[in-house]
Structure 1
Amino acid sequence: MSYVDPRAGSMAAQIAGESAEMDRVAVRGVRAVRSVAAAHRLTGNYIDKVFATEAPSVLPSKVGPIKDRLIVADDEAAVSIEHGHMVRFKNARRVRFVPGQHIMGKALQVMS
Protein backbone atom coordinates (compact mmCIF):
# COMPACT_ATOMS: atom_id res chain seq x y z
CA MET A 1 0.00 0.00 0.00
CA SER A 2 1.33 3.43 -0.90
CA TYR A 3 0.89 6.71 0.89
CA VAL A 4 0.31 10.07 -0.80
CA ASP A 5 0.63 13.17 1.31
CA PRO A 6 -2.71 15.06 1.20
CA ARG A 7 -0.71 18.27 0.76
CA ALA A 8 0.96 16.99 -2.45
CA GLY A 9 -1.30 18.95 -4.82
CA SER A 10 -0.80 22.19 -2.90
CA MET A 11 2.96 21.64 -2.74
CA ALA A 12 3.14 21.02 -6.50
CA ALA A 13 1.08 24.16 -7.19
CA GLN A 14 3.33 26.20 -4.90
CA ILE A 15 6.46 24.96 -6.67
CA ALA A 16 4.92 25.66 -10.09
CA GLY A 17 3.86 29.14 -8.97
CA GLU A 18 7.47 30.04 -8.23
CA SER A 19 8.68 28.67 -11.57
CA ALA A 20 10.03 30.96 -14.29
CA GLU A 21 8.19 28.78 -16.81
CA MET A 22 4.90 30.18 -15.50
CA ASP A 23 6.14 33.69 -16.29
CA ARG A 24 7.14 32.61 -19.80
CA VAL A 25 3.70 31.08 -20.43
CA ALA A 26 2.04 34.28 -19.18
CA VAL A 27 4.12 36.33 -21.62
CA ARG A 28 3.13 33.94 -24.43
CA GLY A 29 -0.50 34.40 -23.39
CA VAL A 30 -0.25 38.19 -23.54
CA ARG A 31 1.32 37.96 -27.00
CA ALA A 32 -1.47 35.63 -28.16
CA VAL A 33 -4.20 37.97 -26.86
CA ARG A 34 -2.55 40.97 -28.50
CA SER A 35 -2.17 39.18 -31.84
CA VAL A 36 -5.83 38.09 -31.88
CA ALA A 37 -6.94 41.59 -30.81
CA ALA A 38 -4.86 43.18 -33.57
CA ALA A 39 -7.24 41.73 -36.16
CA HIS A 40 -10.14 43.63 -34.57
CA ARG A 41 -8.51 46.83 -33.42
CA LEU A 42 -9.96 50.23 -34.12
CA THR A 43 -7.92 52.43 -31.79
CA GLY A 44 -5.39 50.10 -30.13
CA ASN A 45 -6.65 50.97 -26.62
CA TYR A 46 -7.58 47.35 -25.85
CA ILE A 47 -4.20 46.03 -26.99
CA ASP A 48 -2.33 48.63 -24.92
CA LYS A 49 -4.19 47.56 -21.77
CA VAL A 50 -3.48 43.81 -21.95
CA PHE A 51 -0.90 42.58 -19.44
CA ALA A 52 0.02 39.64 -17.20
CA THR A 53 0.05 39.93 -13.42
CA GLU A 54 0.67 37.73 -10.41
CA ALA A 55 -2.21 36.99 -8.06
CA PRO A 56 -2.74 34.76 -5.07
CA SER A 57 -4.57 31.53 -5.84
CA VAL A 58 -8.30 31.53 -5.14
CA LEU A 59 -8.16 27.89 -4.08
CA PRO A 60 -7.36 27.17 -0.44
CA SER A 61 -3.85 25.86 0.12
CA LYS A 62 -2.65 23.45 2.77
CA VAL A 63 0.97 24.63 2.58
CA GLY A 64 0.88 28.43 2.27
CA PRO A 65 0.35 31.02 -0.46
CA ILE A 66 0.27 29.90 -4.09
CA LYS A 67 1.11 32.35 -6.87
CA ASP A 68 -1.04 32.31 -10.03
CA ARG A 69 -0.68 34.33 -13.22
CA LEU A 70 -3.57 36.24 -14.78
CA ILE A 71 -3.82 37.77 -18.21
CA VAL A 72 -5.84 40.96 -17.83
CA ALA A 73 -7.55 43.24 -20.34
CA ASP A 74 -7.94 46.45 -18.32
CA ASP A 75 -9.87 48.37 -20.97
CA GLU A 76 -13.19 49.81 -19.77
CA ALA A 77 -14.96 48.15 -22.71
CA ALA A 78 -13.26 44.75 -22.31
CA VAL A 79 -16.42 42.88 -21.30
CA SER A 80 -18.42 44.35 -24.19
CA ILE A 81 -15.60 43.59 -26.62
CA GLU A 82 -15.29 40.02 -25.37
CA HIS A 83 -18.97 39.05 -25.04
CA GLY A 84 -20.91 41.59 -27.10
CA HIS A 85 -23.34 44.39 -26.26
CA MET A 86 -26.57 46.06 -27.27
CA VAL A 87 -26.63 49.34 -29.23
CA ARG A 88 -29.71 51.54 -29.10
CA PHE A 89 -30.41 53.72 -32.11
CA LYS A 90 -30.77 57.41 -31.30
CA ASN A 91 -34.39 58.54 -30.77
CA ALA A 92 -35.71 55.04 -31.49
CA ARG A 93 -36.81 51.97 -29.59
CA ARG A 94 -34.84 49.77 -31.94
CA VAL A 95 -31.74 48.03 -30.64
CA ARG A 96 -29.09 45.89 -32.29
CA PHE A 97 -26.81 43.29 -30.75
CA VAL A 98 -23.12 43.66 -31.57
CA PRO A 99 -21.53 40.21 -31.20
CA GLY A 100 -18.44 39.80 -29.06
CA GLN A 101 -14.99 39.22 -30.49
CA HIS A 102 -14.12 36.45 -27.95
CA ILE A 103 -10.49 37.56 -28.01
CA MET A 104 -9.43 35.77 -24.82
CA GLY A 105 -11.05 32.48 -25.88
CA LYS A 106 -9.46 32.63 -29.33
CA ALA A 107 -6.07 33.43 -27.82
CA LEU A 108 -6.37 30.36 -25.60
CA GLN A 109 -7.04 28.23 -28.69
CA VAL A 110 -4.00 29.77 -30.44
CA MET A 111 -1.81 28.85 -27.46
CA SER A 112 -2.93 25.19 -27.32
Structure 2
Amino acid sequence: MSYVDPRAGSMAAQIAGQSGEMDVVANRGLSAVRSIAAAHRLTGEYISKTYVVTVPSLEPSKVGPIDDRLIVADDKAAVSIEYGHLVRFKNSRRVKFVPGQHIMGQAVRAVG
Protein backbone atom coordinates (compact mmCIF):
# COMPACT_ATOMS: atom_id res chain seq x y z
CA MET A 1 0.00 0.00 0.00
CA SER A 2 1.33 3.44 -0.87
CA TYR A 3 1.01 6.68 1.03
CA VAL A 4 0.43 10.08 -0.54
CA ASP A 5 0.88 13.10 1.67
CA PRO A 6 -2.41 15.08 1.68
CA ARG A 7 -0.34 18.24 1.23
CA ALA A 8 1.20 16.97 -2.03
CA GLY A 9 -1.05 19.07 -4.27
CA SER A 10 -0.35 22.22 -2.31
CA MET A 11 3.39 21.51 -2.28
CA ALA A 12 3.41 20.99 -6.05
CA ALA A 13 1.47 24.23 -6.58
CA GLN A 14 3.87 26.11 -4.31
CA ILE A 15 6.89 24.80 -6.26
CA ALA A 16 5.25 25.66 -9.59
CA GLY A 17 4.32 29.14 -8.36
CA GLN A 18 7.96 29.88 -7.61
CA SER A 19 9.13 28.52 -10.97
CA GLY A 20 10.38 30.80 -13.72
CA GLU A 21 8.45 28.65 -16.18
CA MET A 22 5.22 30.20 -14.83
CA ASP A 23 6.53 33.63 -15.85
CA VAL A 24 7.46 32.31 -19.30
CA VAL A 25 3.96 30.92 -19.88
CA ALA A 26 2.30 34.07 -18.51
CA ASN A 27 4.39 36.25 -20.83
CA ARG A 28 3.50 33.98 -23.75
CA GLY A 29 -0.16 34.58 -22.89
CA LEU A 30 0.43 38.33 -22.65
CA SER A 31 2.05 38.30 -26.10
CA ALA A 32 -0.98 36.47 -27.49
CA VAL A 33 -3.35 39.02 -25.91
CA ARG A 34 -1.40 41.93 -27.37
CA SER A 35 -1.14 40.29 -30.79
CA ILE A 36 -4.89 39.64 -30.98
CA ALA A 37 -5.70 43.11 -29.64
CA ALA A 38 -3.45 44.70 -32.27
CA ALA A 39 -5.84 43.54 -34.99
CA HIS A 40 -8.66 45.51 -33.32
CA ARG A 41 -6.85 48.55 -32.01
CA LEU A 42 -8.00 52.07 -32.61
CA THR A 43 -5.82 53.94 -30.13
CA GLY A 44 -3.55 51.29 -28.62
CA GLU A 45 -4.74 52.18 -25.12
CA TYR A 46 -6.06 48.66 -24.40
CA ILE A 47 -2.72 47.11 -25.42
CA SER A 48 -0.74 49.59 -23.33
CA LYS A 49 -2.76 48.64 -20.24
CA THR A 50 -2.17 44.88 -20.40
CA TYR A 51 0.40 43.27 -18.11
CA VAL A 52 1.20 40.20 -16.01
CA VAL A 53 0.96 40.32 -12.23
CA THR A 54 1.92 37.75 -9.59
CA VAL A 55 -0.76 37.34 -6.93
CA PRO A 56 -1.36 35.02 -3.98
CA SER A 57 -3.59 32.06 -4.81
CA LEU A 58 -7.26 32.25 -3.84
CA GLU A 59 -7.20 28.58 -2.87
CA PRO A 60 -6.23 27.97 0.75
CA SER A 61 -2.90 26.19 1.07
CA LYS A 62 -1.79 23.62 3.61
CA VAL A 63 1.90 24.45 3.15
CA GLY A 64 2.18 28.24 2.83
CA PRO A 65 1.73 30.92 0.20
CA ILE A 66 1.21 29.91 -3.43
CA ASP A 67 1.81 32.39 -6.27
CA ASP A 68 -0.46 32.60 -9.32
CA ARG A 69 -0.01 34.68 -12.46
CA LEU A 70 -2.75 36.85 -13.92
CA ILE A 71 -2.87 38.58 -17.28
CA VAL A 72 -4.61 41.89 -16.61
CA ALA A 73 -6.34 44.28 -19.01
CA ASP A 74 -6.60 47.46 -16.93
CA ASP A 75 -8.40 49.52 -19.56
CA LYS A 76 -11.64 51.11 -18.32
CA ALA A 77 -13.48 49.56 -21.29
CA ALA A 78 -11.92 46.08 -20.97
CA VAL A 79 -15.19 44.32 -20.08
CA SER A 80 -17.06 46.00 -22.95
CA ILE A 81 -14.24 45.17 -25.34
CA GLU A 82 -14.19 41.54 -24.25
CA TYR A 83 -17.93 40.80 -24.06
CA GLY A 84 -19.64 43.54 -26.06
CA HIS A 85 -21.85 46.47 -25.12
CA LEU A 86 -24.90 48.48 -26.10
CA VAL A 87 -24.69 51.81 -27.90
CA ARG A 88 -27.60 54.19 -27.58
CA PHE A 89 -28.23 56.50 -30.52
CA LYS A 90 -28.36 60.18 -29.59
CA ASN A 91 -31.87 61.58 -29.02
CA SER A 92 -33.40 58.16 -29.63
CA ARG A 93 -34.54 55.08 -27.74
CA ARG A 94 -32.85 52.93 -30.36
CA VAL A 95 -29.86 50.86 -29.24
CA LYS A 96 -27.39 48.66 -31.05
CA PHE A 97 -25.37 45.77 -29.66
CA VAL A 98 -21.65 45.92 -30.47
CA PRO A 99 -20.25 42.37 -30.22
CA GLY A 100 -17.27 41.69 -28.00
CA GLN A 101 -13.85 40.93 -29.44
CA HIS A 102 -13.15 38.12 -26.92
CA ILE A 103 -9.44 38.95 -26.88
CA MET A 104 -8.64 37.15 -23.62
CA GLY A 105 -10.65 34.08 -24.62
CA GLN A 106 -8.89 33.87 -27.98
CA ALA A 107 -5.51 34.24 -26.30
CA VAL A 108 -6.26 31.39 -23.90
CA ARG A 109 -7.15 29.14 -26.83
CA ALA A 110 -4.07 30.25 -28.79
CA VAL A 111 -1.65 29.53 -25.95
CA GLY A 112 -3.51 26.55 -24.45
TM bucket normalised to smaller: over 0.9
Once the two structures are TM-superposed, the CA of residue 74 in structure 1 deviates from its matched residue by 0.3
Once the two structures are TM-superposed, the CA of residue 110 in structure 1 deviates from its matched residue by 1.1
TM-score of the two chains, using structure 2 as the length reference: 0.99
Q: Which residue of 1 aligns with 2:56?
A: 56
| CA distance, structure 1, for counterparts of residue 9 and residue 91 of structure 2 | 58
Q: Which residue of 2 aligns with 1:106?
A: 106
Matched residue count: 112
Task: State the Cα deviation string for residues 56-77 of structure 1 (Å, max 9, x = none).
Answer: 0000100010000000000000
Task: State the Cα deviation string for residues 27-83 of structure 1 (Å, max 9, x = none).
Answer: 111100000000100000000000000000000100010000000000000000000
Q: Which residue of 1 aligns with 2:74?
A: 74
2:52 alignment partner AA: A
TM-score of the two chains, using structure 1 as the length reference: 0.99
Runs of 4+ aligned residues of structure 1 deviating over 2 Å after TM superposition are none
Task: State the Cα deviation string for residues 62-106 of structure 1 (Å, max 9, x = none).
Answer: 001000000000000000000000000000000000000000000
| CA distance, structure 2, for counterparts of residue 87 and residue 68 of structure 1 | 36
Q: Which residue of 2 aligns with 1:29?
A: 29
Once the two structures are TM-superposed, the CA of residue 111 in structure 1 deviates from its matched residue by 0.8
Q: What SS class does the counterpart of residue 27 from structure 1 fall into?
A: helix
| CA distance, structure 1, for counterparts of residue 99 and residue 62 of structure 2 | 42
Unaligned runs of 5+ in 1: none
Q: Which residue of 1 aligns with 2:9?
A: 9
